[in-house]
């Protein structure tokens, strides 16, 4: 329902006798649920959708219940309204039918154009697939094992992404059969972009929830997975212990630490998977699009710079600094790297020599939901030259 909130609110606003901002929160939630059942779900009788929503607000009094009942029945009689088309009014189309906040839609239209933004919005409104990255089996073997189980089907990913799409079945059971992690291909591309070698010591200063840290621990000599949150670091610990119990060698240590003041000596590779707006993962977190405000972007840019400055000091001469986000916003991505290069001497862009995706002219990685069909991600790889 959260995924379609903008679309539902447009339907409600066409019938309700008061602006949405003046409707009691409980009543608005009931209207959204009723509208969702009436227009977005199949198999629910209209009378059931209306009566269930009305029951939710009866404790608030007969006036509220009557209002919800009247609006929902009015929507049922009116049917689906005409939504503005992309050609007529791109912003309104993508905020109502596309169900995204106006400030994000306007930003993306300036960045990508209306047509590409429409593809991005459509990608965000699709439910994410379950992708498993296997560690100790080949993709072919993993698919065979999973597809041989009752009530479970899987297929290999195409494109350049190693992984298995679990099309049907229980995820926990799948991970028992195939040692690995649930991870979107965008995150795996970032891990590969880092270019860790078996002899490298890697410092991952913002490690939780840990998918990339676990992937690095498979590739590098030793990985320190650090995070400010002990609770979030617990998720990393669970994955590490599960995989070790399945016989997968994970050479990593976990440390609670603030990335702005990292208590570490210099390392071969320092990886900053920075806290960000997460606008590349809105299909996975549909509530995020409604929580996020433009002021959050400004605050996160400041935090990212503090972390970058501290992380840069942990890179040994000749070593690598990798900065990554799951954001689509230039202020959090390429502009941050440019800021670092202008404010700290001794670093130069050093993209990996062999990479399956096309990088931009600077050698930065951009994974776009509307282009690749995965989550959005950004990464830049810098070498400390002195």
Residues forming the active site: 326
How deeply is 371 buried, as exposed, middle or buried, from its count of CB atoms within 10 A (0-12, 13-18, 19+)? Answer: middle
β-partners of residue 365 are 379
Phi, psi dihedral angles at 274 (to 5 degrees): -70, 145
β-partners of residue 143 are none
Q: What is the number of alpha carbons within 13 Å of residue 140 lying toward its C-beta?
A: 0
Among candidate residues 36, 5, 33, the one with its CA nearest the CA of residue 290: 5
Distance between CA atoms of residues 347 and 382, nearest Å = 6
> Is-cis flag, bond preceding 209, omega within 30?
yes
Query: What is the distance of C-alpha 43 from the center of its chain?
Result: 31
User: Rounded to whole angstroms, what are the CA distances from 212 to 48, 186, 193, 296, 324?
Assistant: 45, 10, 11, 24, 11
* Residue corresponding to tokens 């990292």: 262
Distance between CA atoms of residues 267 and 273, nearest Å = 16
How deeply is 260 buried, as exposed, middle or buried, from its count of CB atoms within 10 A (0-12, 13-18, 19+)? Answer: middle
How deeply is 374 buried, as exposed, middle or buried, from its count of CB atoms within 10 A (0-12, 13-18, 19+)? Answer: buried
How many beta carbons lie within 10 A of that of residue 129, not counting itself?
Answer: 15
On whether the CB atoms of residues 269 and 322 are closer than 8 A, the answer is: yes
């Amino acid at each position: 329902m959260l995924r379609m909130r903008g679309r539902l609110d447009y339907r409600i606003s066409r019938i309700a006798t008061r602006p949405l901002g003046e409707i009691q929160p409980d009543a608005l939630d009931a209207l959204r649920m009723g509208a969702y059942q009436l227009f977005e779900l199949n198999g629910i009788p209209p009378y059931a959708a209306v009566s269930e929503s009305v029951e939710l607000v009866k404790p608030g009094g007969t006036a509220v219940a009557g209002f919800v009942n009247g609006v929902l029945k009015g929507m049922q009689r009116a049917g689906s309204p005409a939504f503005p088309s992309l050609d007529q009014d791109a912003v309104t189309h993508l905020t109502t039918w596309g169900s995204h906040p106006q400030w994000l839609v306007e930003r993306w239209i300036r960045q990508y154009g209306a047509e590409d933004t429409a593809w991005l919005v459509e990608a965000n409104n699709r439910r994410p697939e379950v992708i498993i990255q296997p560690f100790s089996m080949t993709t072919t073997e993993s698919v065979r094992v999973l597809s041989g189980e009752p009530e479970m089907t899987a297929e290999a990913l195409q494109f350049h992404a190693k992984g298995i799409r679990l099309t049907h079945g229980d995820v926990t059971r799948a991970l028992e059969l195939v040692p690995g992690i649930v991870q979107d291909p965008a995150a795996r591309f970032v891990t590969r972009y880092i270019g860790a070698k078996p002899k490298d010591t890697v410092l991952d200063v913002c490690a939780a929830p840990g998918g990339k840290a676990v992937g690095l621990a498979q590739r590098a000599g030793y990985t320190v997975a650090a995070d400010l949150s002990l609770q979030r670091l617990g998720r990393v610990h669970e994955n590490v212990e599960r995989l070790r119990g399945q016989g997968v060698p994970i050479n990593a240590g976990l440390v609670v630490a603030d990335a702005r003041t990292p208590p570490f000596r210099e390392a071969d590779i320092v990886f900053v998977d920075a806290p960000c707006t997460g606008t590349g993962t809105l299909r996975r977190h549909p509530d995020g699009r409604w929580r996020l405000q433009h002021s959050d972007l400004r605050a996160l840019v400041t935090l990212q710079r503090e972390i970058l400055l501290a992380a840069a000091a942990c890179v040994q001469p000749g070593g690598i600094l990798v900065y990554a986000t799951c954001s689509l916003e230039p202020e959090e991505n390429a502009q941050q790297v440019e800021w670092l290069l202008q404010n700290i001497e001794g670093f130069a862009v050093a993209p990996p020599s062999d990479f399956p995706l096309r990088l931009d002219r600077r050698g930065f990685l951009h994974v776009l939901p509307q282009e690749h069909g995965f989550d959005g991600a950004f990464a830049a790889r810098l070498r400390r030259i002195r």
